[in-house]
Structure 1
């Protein structure tokens, strides 16, 4: 076995062990663990059978198999970044909505403490929602 093969296998095994430990401690959600597990298994496959990389790069017409490896790695990183950006936007919107709902609830609590009647409170609450 070459040093590259050993390095690829060792790195992938470390990633898989870290994934299982993070999932066990509830520090990583299953959907992300699945993505990283697929990446780790792909690395194990390429490390164990480097001919796959060479044949694929020849079939595509690339002179250097490492270029294919870097391209695929770049695409994986871009897809993960896009997915995380999408989720971040969704979470920001949800956070804003929750903050608005808390502000409305705080307004209702303040009005109840000040002694405003229920009729005034309901009318003001409806106005704030529009």
Structure 2
């Protein structure tokens, strides 16, 4: 590995970590969403600082080409993030449905009360 590639890998990993940390700091990203991205950024930093660890990890799990291990792990992280977001989306849909039903019931009650008040304020006619 030449020096330019080595330095580029370290800088890219540090930028990725900095973006995640800054997003956390500015509250653009919540902690539970940032876990996978922090783990991926730290793994990228370790591999960029110690490039032999990728070859060691690939040999450990039986992957012939270390780059394939990187692709597999990247896809695995993206799948886990997708599953996490799907679960949260399901929860939000249920909460939205409950809120919409509550608002509809309150709207009906308000209309009924307004009608009752309007009927009570109208002068009564004697037959």
TM-score range with shorter-chain normalisation? 0.7 to 0.9
Tell which structure's C-alpha radius of gyration is larger: 2
Give the structure-2-normalised TM-score.
0.82
CA distance in 2 between partners of 1:45 and 1:93 (Å):
40
The alpha-carbon distance between structure 1 residues 60 and 34, as it changes in their structure 2 partners (threshold 3 A), is closer
CA distance in 2 between partners of 1:19 and 1:10 (Å):
14
Write out aligned runs for 1:1-130 (5 A).
Answer: 2-115=3-116
Q: Looking at both structures, which has the greater relative contact order when contacts are Cα pairs under 8 Å and sequence separation is at least 6?
A: 2
**CA RMSD of superposed structures (Å):** 1.6
* Secondary structure at 1:27 match in 2: coil
Q: Residue 125 of structure 1 aligns with which residue?
A: none
CA contact (8 A) 2:36 2:77 kept: no
* Secondary structure at 2:96 match in 1: helix
- Give structure 1 stretches of 5+ with no counterpart: 117-130
CA distance in 1 between partners of 2:4 and 2:64 (Å):
22
CA contact (8 A) 1:12 1:43 kept: yes
Number of equivalences: 116
**Runs of 4+ that moved beyond 6 A:** none
- The offset of 1:104, in angstroms, is 0.5
- The offset of 1:109, in angstroms, is 0.8
Give the structure-1-normalised TM-score.
0.81
